[in-house]
Amino acid sequence: MKNYKNFDSAVIHGGIFGDEKTGAVNVPIYQTSTYEQKRLGKHKGWEYSRTGNPTRTALESLIAELEHGVAGFAFASGMAAITAVLSLFKSGDRIVISDNIYGGTFRVLDKVFNHFNINYKIVDTTNLEAVEKAVTEDVKAIFIETPTNPLLHITDIKAISDIAKKHHILSIVDNTFMTPYLQRPIELGSDIVIHSATKYLGGHSDIIAGLVVVNSIELAEKIAFIQNSTGGILQPFDSFLLIRGIKTLAVRMDRHVENAEKVVEYLKNKKGIKNIYYPSNNAINKKQAKNGGVMISFELEKNYDINKFFDSVKFVALAESLGGVESLVCHPASMTHASIPADIRKKVGITDNLIRLSVGIENINDIITDLEQAINESEVK
C-alpha cells in the first residue's frame, strides 16, 4: 500500500521501494542477462534482460507513477526513447512537430524515419489554428515540446491533446525540460510522455538515458513490443543511477528554479542583454506547469562578442546538455541546434548571439558573479 500522497514523497517511495528479500532500502542492481528456469516453460517472471530486468522494472514503475501514466519504459538514451515512440508509425504517416523542437528529434525524423516514408510537418504549435489546419488525413500524431528548446515557447498541452482526440490521433509530449515535478502532460490528456532522463531526472550529468510513459494498456503493449524487438534498453546499473537521481528530483528542482528566477532578475537589469527568454509570466505555462522551470535563453546586444563571452565564463561551464547540478551555457546556433537548417533557425529566432543557460544548484552569488564578468568581458569597446 502506498502510504503517501505527495510528489516529493513519491520520488523516494514510488514504484518498487527497496528489496523485499533482504529489507535493503534500495532496489538491487540485478546485473544479469538471463534467469534460471525451473522447468521448461516455468520461470519466475523473468527470462532475458532485454525483455525485462528487475532494476529496470523498478525505474519503469517509478516514472509511470510520477507521470500518472499506465506504464513506463526505460531506454538507453532520450533518442532511443523517441525512436521507439516513432516506431509506432507506418509508411505514409505524418507527424506534426513543434517548430523549435529538439535538434535530435528533427534529425531522426528528417534523416532516418524519412527512409521509411514517415514524414513530419513543422508547425508553430503555439498557434492552435495552425495545428488544427495541419492535421490532415495522413497526420497520425502531434509531437510537442513545451517549453521549447532553446526559446522556451509555450504550447497549450490540453488544447493540443483535445485536437488530437478530436481527430483520433496521438498527442506526444517531450517533457524533458519540465519533469513530472513541474508538469504532468498525461493529466492534461496527452497519450505519451517522453524524457531525456539524461537531463533533470538523472540530474548529475553522469548518465545517458531515456524514458517513455503511456496512458493506456494498448499503447503499453505496443511500446513493450517495440522495446523488446528493437532492444534499445537501459542497463541495470544506469537504471539504478536514474532511480537514485530521481529520489532528489523535488529538492533539486526547487533550488534550480529558485536560482533561475534570480538569474532572470539579474539579467533584466544588466546592460548588454536583450530578449530574455523565460516563460514564468506566460498565462498558458501558469495554467499547466508549476513554474517557469530552469532553462533561460538570452541574447547579447550587437556590440558584444559571443566568442569572448564563451571564452570568459569560468565557473559556468561551456557544454552541451542541461539539467545537471552544475550550471552550463551553450551556443544553440553552433551546438545543440546546428542540425537545423540555417534558414529555419533564423526564422524561429535562434540567432548567433543567443545563449542558453541551464542554471545549476550552486550558490547563486557564484553563478551571477561569473555571468557578470563574462558579459562585461565580451563588450566590444
Ligand X SMILES: *Cc1c(COP(=O)(O)O)cnc(C)c1O
Q: Residues in the site for ligand X, rule: CB under 6 A?
A: 77-79, 102, 104, 145, 149, 174, 176-177, 196, 198-199, 208, 210
φ/ψ (deg, to 5) at 37? -105, 140
Does 199 participate in catalysis according to the annotation? yes
Nearer to ligand X, 104 or 272 (CB): 104
Q: What secondary structure does DSSP assign to 225-237, as a single string? A: HHHHHH--BPPHH
Q: How many CB atoms lie within 10 A of CB 3?
A: 6
Q: How many CB atoms lie within 10 A of CB 268?
A: 11
Catalytic-role residue among 156, 174, 191, 370: 174
Catalytic-role residue among 56, 199, 252, 345: 199
Does 50 participate in catalysis according to the annotation? yes
The least CB distance from residue 176 to ligand X, in Å, is: 4
Catalytic-role residue among 30, 102, 277, 304: 102
Question: Cβ distance 156 to 129 under 8 Å?
Answer: no
Strand pairing partners for 95? 120, 141
Catalytic-role residue among 19, 35, 50, 286: 50
**Nearest residue to 68 (alpha-carbon basis) of 168, 189, 154:** 189
The least CB distance from residue 196 to ligand X, in Å, is: 3
For the chain, give the longest Cα–Cα distance: 79
The least CB distance from residue 82 to ligand X, in Å, is: 6
Nearer to ligand X, 243 or 364 (CB): 243
The least CB distance from residue 210 to ligand X, in Å, is: 5
Does 102 participate in catalysis according to the annotation? yes
What do you get for the CA distance between the two ends of the chain, in Å? 66
Cβ-count burial 363-381 (b if 16+ within 10 Å, e if not): ebeebbebbeebbeebeee
The least CB distance from residue 63 to ligand X, in Å, is: 14
Nearer to ligand X, 79 or 243 (CB): 79
Does 270 participate in catalysis according to the annotation? no
The arrangement of strands across the sheet holding 170-174 comes to: 71-75, 210-214, 192-196, 170-174, 139-145, 94-98, 119-123
Q: How far is residue 370's CA from residue 381's CA, in Å, rounded to a whole number?
A: 20
Question: Cβ distance 184 to 65 under 8 Å?
Answer: no
The least CB distance from residue 149 to ligand X, in Å, is: 5
Residue nearest to ligand X (CB): 78
Q: Name the amino acid, one letter, at 282.
A: N
Nearer to ligand X, 208 or 344 (CB): 208
Q: How far is residue 29's CA from residue 40's CA, in Å, rounded to a whole number?
A: 27
The least CB distance from residue 360 to ligand X, in Å, is: 16
Nearer to ligand X, 220 or 330 (CB): 330
Helices (H) and strands (E) in the chain, counts: 14, 12
Nearer to ligand X, 199 or 331 (CB): 199
Nearer to ligand X, 239 or 378 (CB): 239
Helix (H, G, I), strand (E, B) or coil at 28: coil
Residues involved in catalysis: 50, 102, 174, 199
